[in-house]
Structure 1
């Protein structure tokens, strides 16, 4: 069955209409002031960990290729528009004895850097999340369910460190995370939590890009439903698609089991992908304060983010 042949509205459990017929924010509506205040209460050390992969160099050099990314995706480009040294064309002093340096950055978030998916990123049939018409996703941006509708995320995180649970540095490419795995992590999942999943897969990049591209471990469909049933606000993972990927960088699951459709389309649950969770793994915390904010990109299907764990 193709997306065009899929049901126009979700069957079974979903969040359509829960926060009104005009809602474009989805499960982030769960982050009420009371839920946020309770999340702040998880801070006990005052220590902050950055959970983002770096954006490196320009495509004229090898630096971007040293960071995990999906094969064939346009790499992020960072270069100096004015640096006062090796690239000075068109520059001018900003004052006596002073120079100015400027940057330029081009990023296609999906599959190339740490990012947050908007609810307009994937849908079935002719409708986005909550029944908004998919025809509102245009070449100039999405006028419904864009990343600009998400806003900042400040929430309690429940951390599922599956490699630590299994005693391995990272999961094998063909592995799927089960409900039993999630339950064994001992996290007390509450409504409004960010479910954070560690596969350890970015460590495979250090061995070789070919190994990283051989597939990816991820959540099983059953585990995804288990999380959605617990009223989470967001899912974040260190892999590229939340679900597992095959060697062609696609998902093997059917549309009924596709996790992007389950989370984004059916439940309005935003996704954050390609996080760096290795330092967090060593912190020994199951719950902590999670903070992230997408860029206010009008109509964007995603945005780069720098997630933070406040311990």
Structure 2
């Protein structure tokens, strides 16, 4: 049931670029907000896709209200560093320090993982503060999310002392708790995206503490036609040469059937390779022109039925 998923505190919507993970993240956040949850949508890569889909002209590190119960935030690692120093190191007015950007660039270059730990740290901090009922994250595509989700454990192993050790311990507790933090995988039903999604699923399980909860196969062509429809098409074929353009229409119908068959095969492969313990939801391809909010509403309705 969707209620089970929405009881989580932190959901990472992962996948390769171009599969619609931003749309799924925005629809999932909108669904949670409509059910009365206070939701924060976080876009990590800074493209602004999530905010624009929800009607915001711009987003920033300070959350902006997009709808009732729904806020959108754009991750900013320099701002996250300033917030961290203000909260944990007790440095007041640090965000106004003119050299902070240069210091941050130097530190993040000299110490790989700093940017990632700030991103994950900010998300876990919001979970711990209980400011929101649900945080839905649209992270960078594919492999980049692995470095972010795995960084707390990596840093914790490298630095076993002081403030850093204490910080990574509570972050790992949140990330590794499947009742609080999960990943939701998004793919499209084509061969390459399915292969990359399966690879990402393996890496999520092997290299990060975050539990893989399930997957969404997006933009699926649904078919084939019912038997009575097939019979009608067979009759229509007899008029192909006598009606201008009819053969082209029939060829398009045949192509659609082949795409549906291919999507079905790839979906079965994906489900089989992921394993029986994971639920896989499907969202169909939407033809024609829909406004962004209309599309999100349509996808949210499908997720409400399909997910858990």
TM-score (normalised: structure 1): 0.26
More helix per residue: 1 or 2? 2
**Computing the radius of gyration over CA atoms, which structure comes out larger, 1 or 2?**
2
Question: Which of 1 and 2 has higher RCO (CA within 8 Å, sep 6+)?
Answer: 1
